[in-house]
Each structure stands twice: as C-alpha cells, then as structure tokens.
Structure 1
Amino acid sequence: MDKVDVRFPQPAKAAPSNLPKNAFERATALVDLMGRLTLLLQREAAAVRARRPTAELLQMAREKQPMSLVYEEISRMLRVDRDGVIALPAELKTALKEATGQLYAASADNAEALRVGGQAQKIVVDTVVAAVTRAQKAPATAYAAHMGGGRGYAPPPSGPRTSSALNKQL
C-alpha cells in the first residue's frame, strides 16, 4: 500500500490522455486491439507447437502483456458506459461480438498449446532426471570379475557416469 502524506493533499491523477474519450472511439479501438491480440495469440500458439526458441516466445509474451492491460482498461471503460454502448451503431456492435468470439477462441487455443507444450517439456525433464538419477546410483566401488573371480577391488568408475548432474535451473 502506498503511503500518502495527508498533510499536503495530492491532486487526483488524471486518466491517460491517449485513451478513447467516448463509447464509439472505445468500441472502435477495442475491435482493432482484439484483432491484433487474436493474431498474436495465434502466432504464439503456432510457435509453441513448432517448438520455436524460448527467446522468440518470450518476445511474444512481452508484446502480449501491455496489449492485455490496455484491453482490460478499454473494455472496463466501455462496460461502465451503458448509455454509450446502447447508442453504438449495429455494425460496430456486430464487429465487437465477432472480435470477442475470435479472441476467446484464440485464447482457448493458445492456452491448450501452452498446456500441451508444458506437459511435453515436463516429460523431457522427467526423463533426464531419471537418467541422471540412475547414473548417480551406480556403485561407488566395483569388484572386478577379472581380478580373482570377483574378489578383487577396482577403483571407482570415473567419467560421464559419475559426473552426471542435473541443472535444476529452468
């Protein structure tokens, strides 16, 4: 919680000046924003399915975050202005409805792609962990069969089998 000095009243923060001013402008901006966000979600889902590099997926996430915040703010402002929404032209209402449906479909597809990609990544990590664990459980000392019929001692094995380690930082 921000500390506020009550001795000196602070002027109210003005809304950002670049936001749409009326319902028509908000609805038009929202249709455009939903279209761009839908395309970004579709690109991200395709990139996840194509197993594109993490840097590419991270860049898409960086693009998605501010667009999502603006979408939330404009849609909230539009929902509050009921009279303005009622006065919108029918074709703009139809465009809003279609853009909303496309955005929801792209969001569901994106969520499914991310879920499946996460599960696939978990399988790979679990396989590597199991292999490293098996390698680390190798006996520290080995009795060589060639030295007296299994009674001799050989130094502990070295090399890739004992130097296996798991990088736990993902």
Structure 2
Amino acid sequence: MDKVDVRFPQPAKAPITNLPKNALERATALVSLMGRMTSLLQRETAAVKARRPASELAQFIKEKQPMALVYEDVSRALRVDREGMRNLPDDLKAALKEAAGALYAATAENAETLQMNSAAQKIIVDTMVSVVTKAQKAPTTAYAAHMGGGRGYSPPPHGTRASAALNTRL
C-alpha cells in the first residue's frame, strides 16, 4: 500500500478520459505514439551530440514526459486485454512489433548518448575541482632564486587564494 501524507492532502489525479476504448484503437494509437516517441528520441540524441543549448534540450524533456505517461497507460491497457490482443489483425501486430523495435533501438541509443555526455561533464567538473583545489593550496609567499642572487622574496600572487571558483551551471 502506498504511504499517504495526511498532513498535506493531494488532490486526486483525474483519469485520462480520451484514451482509446478497445484493443484495435489502443494498438493503432500505440503504433502512432511509438513512432512519435522514436522520432523525438532520435532528435534529442542528435541535439545532445551536436551540443545544443540546455534550453533546447529541456524542450525535449517537456515533450517526452507526457508522451511516456500516455504510452504507459495505453500499453498497460492493451497488455491487460488478452482477448483483444489475440483478435488484432496480423498486419497491426507486425506494425506494433516493428514500432516497438524501433522505439527500443532509439531508447538505447539515447540512453548511451546521455550517459556518455554525463561522463564527459563529470570529467570536466572533476578537472575543474582539481585545478581550484591546487590553486587554493598554492603558497601565498614564495622565495625566488632570481631575486638578490640566492634567496629572495616575491610578493604573493594578486587576488585571494579562493578567487578561483567553480561554475556549477555546466
């Protein structure tokens, strides 16, 4: 049973009312939806590879979420209706299988691209943290051999040691 916080009651979610009513409608809608989701994932993958701005990538997320929710509802309703699934035309079953394969491939490529992008950003952040840490540990004064023949004093570098900061909005 799900835990419910009674201190802050949430309004009940309204069920989606315009879902397809029978297996044939669900399967047809699902094929179309999977095609659109495949296209969206391919566009997002290309945008990530092309290093498009974050605002553009955020738009893909806004489009993906409602599609994923509808996909989940429609596919669950179709899977539950075993009799309706058996009675679907063979060409529609083949279209479902083909669309599912294309969606799976696009999802796998998208996930791999996002993971590689995430790993690259982690390397950049780790490098920046290392550089900042080294800069903060640098001595504030140094004796230079070029001053006064042997040992000499050189003033500390300009600015505070903590002036190097990490931009967290990578």
Q: What TM-score does the superposition give when structure 2 sets the normalisation length?
A: 0.85
Letter in 2 for 1:17: T
Tell me if the contact between 1:143 and 1:151 (Cα under 8 Å) persists in the aligned partners: yes
Tell me if the contact between 1:38 and 1:103 (Cα under 8 Å) persists in the aligned partners: yes
Counterpart secondary structure, 1:98? helix
Per-residue deviation, 1:134: 2.1
Q: Against the structure 1 CA distance between its residues 114 and 138, is the aligned structure 2 distance closer, same or farther, given a 3 Å change threshold?
A: same
Structure 2 residues without counterparts, runs of 5 or longer: 7-11
Q: Distance in 1 between matches of 2:55 and 2:132?
A: 27
- Report the counterpart of residue 34 of structure 2 in structure 1: 34
- Report the counterpart of residue 23 of structure 1 in structure 2: 23
Q: Distance in 2 between matches of 1:25 and 1:100?
A: 17
Structure 1 residues without counterparts, runs of 5 or longer: 4-11
Tell me if the contact between 1:144 and 1:152 (Cα under 8 Å) persists in the aligned partners: yes
Q: What TM-score does the superposition give when structure 1 sets the normalisation length?
A: 0.85
- Which shows bigger deviation, 81-90 or 157-166? 157-166
Counterpart secondary structure, 1:143? strand
- Which shows bigger deviation, 15-24 or 158-167? 158-167
Per-residue deviation, 1:137: 1.9
Q: Against the structure 1 CA distance between its residues 2 and 79, is the aligned structure 2 distance closer, same or farther, given a 3 Å change threshold?
A: farther
Counterpart secondary structure, 2:116? helix
Tell me if the contact between 1:27 and 1:92 (Cα under 8 Å) persists in the aligned partners: yes
Letter in 1 for 2:109: D
Q: Distance in 1 between matches of 2:13 and 2:152?
A: 82
Per-residue deviation, 1:122: 1.4
Q: Distance in 1 between matches of 2:122 and 2:14?
A: 46
- Report the counterpart of residue 105 of structure 2 in structure 1: 105
Letter in 1 for 2:59: Q
Tell me if the contact between 1:34 and 1:100 (Cα under 8 Å) persists in the aligned partners: yes
Per-residue deviation, 1:51: 1.0
Per-residue deviation, 1:2: 5.7
- Which shows bigger deviation, 41-50 or 150-159? 150-159
Per-residue deviation, 1:136: 1.9
Does residue 131 in structure 1 map to residue 131 in structure 2?
yes
Per-residue deviation, 1:143: 2.3
Q: Distance in 1 between matches of 2:161 and 2:119?
A: 28
Q: Percent identity?
A: 69
Q: Distance in 2 between matches of 1:69 and 1:87?
A: 26
Letter in 2 for 1:122: K
